[in-house]
Each structure stands twice: as structure tokens, then as C-alpha cells.
Amino acid sequence: MTVRIAEIFGPTIQGEGALIGQPTVFIRAGGCDYRCSWCDSLHAVDSRFRHEWLPMQPDQVMAKVAELSGGQPLMVSISGGNPAIQDFGPVIALGRAKGYSFACETQGSVARDWFADLALLVLSPKPPSSGQVTDWDAFDACIAAAGAARVVMKIVIFDQRDLDWARDAQSRYPGLPLYLQPGNPEVDPTLPVSPQALADRMLWLVNETVGKGWLTPHILPQLHVLIWGNRRGV
Amino acid sequence: MTVRIAEIFGPTIQGEGALIGQPTVFIRAGGCDYRCSWCDSLHAVDSRFRHEWLPMQPDQVMAKVAELSGGQPLMVSISGGNPAIQDFGPVIALGRAKGYSFACETQGSVARDWFADLALLVLSPKPPSSGQVTDWDAFDACIAAAGAARVVMKIVIFDQRDLDWARDAQSRYPGLPLYLQPGNPEVDPTLPVSPQALADRMLWLVNETVGKGWLTPHILPQLHVLIWGNRRGV
């Protein structure tokens, strides 16, 4: 049973969310059930890149991870695309047996029993600016599937409407730690990113949340964009 | 019994370390037993600013925190200077009774029994570039005083020698989660900070750690410097 893999890269630092700054190897799954207007990973989403996605056996995936980490067990981040449309259970079982831990980021549209084997499940429902609509029943099923595993919610914010939506999402799940990050409008990997523009977006988001008395979400930027711009594989 | 306070400000986001991105009010204690060459908080360290440090009763401190947070209990970060040269036990007891949580950052030169009442104790021993020398017996006493409280180690890195020193510190305390952050050479609050220079320092530090197979520390920048430069009170 193979999984379709867009890329495996690292070790590098996790650039965003609850594990920000932590060394990790990324497994980026190919394929997605969403098509966000501002997607920054189209090479793992759009089916016109499908020929670049490599079908790999679980042992091949973990062999590549081990090669990259020099055999040191570390946190492995499974992203995409939406990794939950595939079965990563065997990869995770194999990796955990060798001392690796796993985090997975998904929009929460498909529940998987292997969520319970994660060190961290990041559910990132997509706000209105994405053009997508969240199925909250499916989202509930993802939380249930995670069982005792640590779960957080991460929402990318482009505008005021997204912020209002994030507040509603937090009201729906008051027990889930919430991470907000400014959206990245500069997704062309061939163009440089302005660190000043990234700083300005953070300032706006902090002012609109903490500055207005909303004190429960964590507010974090995308460090990888700050450091490397939109380059792939870092 | 009063404490000497250089400033109380916020709510803003915690800009660095294990709580990065979390909304917090800062209590900056006046006075320090160290004098790091690159200190970015001289207004809370150098005794020529002593007349600016306000002696406050614990209830006055918490009244100011509550005023700033609009009465919402949140994480309160006690920094300095070195807050451990004073007795913050009564402030913490008063705040916890009202639902606030406390983090404290100190170099680990003075142990306090109130460390055990913290949600997080950040021990930040100073590397060679600081010009300071760490008393590891005192540092051990700080860890012991924290008891069951969460403790992490944070080290500011300016150069390769600091990095080697941080590796030794990690060998000494393999059980302490380690956070590394690039030093900030631009400490003049009246001069602008270059976000690009900050990004470059992060790139250097990631390359010298994760890039060379050192996969255990978290690597994080100072977000407040990215967003606000060296301005005070944000």
C-alpha cells in the first residue's frame, strides 16, 4: 500500500504553529480535497502536478526520513495537500517503532484512526477568504478520532472577515488551543518576500486581536517565509 | 513589602521562547546582579535608571495588570533585570488567586521558593559573549526550587563560541528543553531594526544547528524585535 508523496525534506525548523522553531523533517503528501484561493502549496494540491507525486511504500518513506535526519529520531511533520485523504497509519507505526514522533496538519475534512497515534494533530479549518466551506460534522469526527492525542486549531487570517470567523470557530471549540497566523499573499516561489511586509502583517494581526482585548489565541508568523521566502524544500 | 518595578506593559504577545506568540502582560523588575555586554534592557538593569523604578505593593502590581488586561486573567511574564533578586511570591500568590498564570525569566543565579508556583520558569544562562560567568551550583538550586513546575532553558547566541557553550549546557541538563535565539546587536531603542537583518541572523543560527545535525533545540527569533524594533513597552 503506497502513499503519494510530493516531497520529503529537512531537517529544518517548523515554521509555524504550536511546534514553531522545533527541528523537523517534513513529509508533504500529494493531493487535496480543497482548493484554497491563496494556497501556497499548489505543487502538492493541483492535479496538474500529479506526475511529480511519488508513490512510496511506508518503509521507503521512513528510509528517506532517516537518511535526512542522519538516523536521529525527531519530530516528523506530515503536511500536504491534505494528508488525511491517504492512509499514513503504516508510516506512523513504522516511525514510532524507531523513536520518531509525528505531527500532522489537515483542514479537518476527513477523520482517520491514525490521528490517535500522533504527538500533535493540527486542525486548520479554512476561513472565508479561502473560498472553502467547512463541514463541522467532519471536523468533529477528526477531534473524536484523535482521542487522547494533543489537538490544536490553527487558522490563517487574511482579513477582518476571517478574524470574525475565527472567533466563531473558537466559540465552537473553546477547549482547543487556537493559533492564528497572518496569511501570506506572496505565494510565487520565484519572487522574493519582504521581511518588512511580513512584520507589517504580524503587527496588523496583533493589533486586531490582542490589541482589541482578544487574549486567548497565540499569534505567530510563518518563520520559514521570513527566513527563506517562498522557496520550496526548506 | 514592595517590589521595584521598571515597567508593567501589555497585553502584547510573548516575543520569544517557549510561550512565543501567547498574549501576556509583562512585569519588568528593576535591578540585576549581572551586567551583560549586550544587555537590551539596561533601563531595568543599570542603577543610573534606579530613580525610574517604582516601589509597588503586590496589590498595586496586580491592580495595574488587571487594568491592562481589562480584568481578563492571562499569562503574566515577570522579567527584568533579574526578577529573582526580589520576592515576587506575594504578587504571584495574589495573581493566581484571581486566575492569572505566571512565567518568570531569570539567568538562574538566585533560587526562590516561589519558582514552584510558576506555570513556566525560563532559565537563561548567559553565554561567553555576555562577559558573565555562570554559577552552576546556583543554577542547580533554581531547578530544584522549581519542583514540579515546568522549566526550560533559553540561551541567546551571538557567535560560534556561544553555540559551543550552549551545547555544553545542554549536555549538563539533557532533560531541560532548550531554546536558542539569535542575539540582537541592535539594542538602541531610537534606531530602526532591519527585519532582513533579523531574518539573516535566524538563517545563520538554523544553518549552524539544525543544518549541522544538532536537532534537539528549538530555534526562535525575537518576534517583538521583528514587529516593533527595540521600542519599549510593546
Cα Rg of chain A (Å, integer): 17
Among A7-21, A73-87, B220-234, whose mean pLDDT is lowest?
B220-234
Percent of chain A with pLDDT over 90: 90
How many CA atoms, within 13 angstroms, populate the side-chain half-sphere of residue A191? 8
Other beta carbons within 10 Å of B16? 22
pLDDT for A172: 98
pLDDT above 80: residue A7 = yes
pLDDT above 80: residue A98 = yes
| pLDDT tens digits, A164-216 | 999 999 999 999 999 999 998 877 777 778 888 999 999 999 999 999 999 99
A8 part of contact set with chain B, CB < 8 Å = no
All residue ranges of chain B with pLDDT < 50 are: none
Buried/exposed A193-231: b ≥16 CB within 10 Å, e otherwise:
bebeebbebbbebbebbbeeebbebbbbbbbbbbbbbbe
CB B104 within 8 A of CB B145: no
- Report the gap between the CA of A227 and the closest CA in chain B (Å): 5
End-to-end CA distance of chain B: 28
Q: Which of B23, B179, B199 sits opposite A195 (nearest CB)?
A: B199
Q: Sorting pLDDT into bands at 50, 70 and 90, what band is A70?
A: very high
| CB contact (8 A) between residue A13 and residue B70 | no
Three-state DSSP at A32 gives: coil
Q: Packing angle between helix B195-208 and helix A195-208, nearest 10 degrees?
A: 100
Query: What's the CATH class of domain B3-228?
Result: alpha beta
A17 part of contact set with chain B, CB < 8 Å = no
pLDDT for B187: 73
pLDDT for B99: 98
Q: Sorting pLDDT into bands at 50, 70 and 90, what band is A88?
A: very high
pLDDT for A189: 74
Cα B89 from chain centroid? 18
Distance CA A176, CA A142 (A): 13
Q: Which of B23, B217, B221 sits opposite A210 (nearest CB)?
A: B23
pLDDT for A27: 98
Q: Regarding beta strands B54-56 and B101-106, do their DSSP bridges make them parallel or antiparallel, or are they unpaired?
A: unpaired
pLDDT above 90: residue A221 = yes
Max distance between CA atoms of chain B, in angstroms, equals 50
pLDDT for A234: 77
Closest by Cα among B169, B183, B181 to B209:
B181
Among chain A residues, the shortest Cα distance to B193 is held by: A196
Chain B environment of A221 (Cβ under 8 Å): 223, 226
Nine cell digits for residue A160: 477582518
In total, the C-beta contacts within 8 angstroms joining chain A to chain B are 92
> How much is the average pLDDT of A216-226?
96
Closest by Cα among A77, A106, A60, A56 to A10:
A77
Query: Helical H runs in chain A?
Result: 58-69, 89-97, 136-146, 160-172, 195-208, 223-228
What is the reported pTM?
0.96
Q: Regarding beta strands B3-13 and A54-56, do their DSSP bridges make them parallel or antiparallel, or are they unpaired?
A: unpaired
Among chain A residues, the shortest Cα distance to B22 is held by: A218
pLDDT for A59: 98
Sheet holding B54-56: strands in order across?
B54-56, B3-13, B23-29, B75-79, B101-106, B120-123, B150-157, B178-182, B218-219
pLDDT above 80: residue A8 = yes
Residue B233 backbone class (left: φ over 0; alpha: ψ -120 to 50; beta: rest): left
> How much is the average pLDDT of A144-166?
98
CB B137 within 8 A of CB B113: no
Chain B environment of A12 (Cβ under 8 Å): 206, 210
| CB contact (8 A) between residue A210 and residue B20 | no
Chain A environment of B13 (Cβ under 8 Å): 206, 210, 218-219
How many CA atoms, within 13 angstroms, populate the side-chain half-sphere of residue A185? 9
| CB contact (8 A) between residue B13 and residue A227 | no
DSSP-assigned letter for residue A53: P
pLDDT above 90: residue A155 = yes
Q: Regarding beta strands A101-106 and A75-79, do their DSSP bridges make them parallel or antiparallel, or are they unpaired?
A: parallel
pLDDT above 90: residue A229 = no
pLDDT for B56: 98
Ranges of each domain in chain B: 3-228
| CB contact (8 A) between residue A227 and residue B179 | no
pLDDT for A194: 86
Three-state DSSP at A227 gives: helix
Distance CA B222, CA A117 (A): 33
For residue B101, CA distances in Å to A23, A70, B25, B88, B146 come to 28, 40, 10, 13, 15
pLDDT for B58: 98
Binding residue per annotation — A40?
A: yes
- Report the gap between the CA of B23 and the closest CA in chain A (Å): 6
Instruction: Point out the annotated binding site of B for substrate.
Output: 13-15, 28, 79
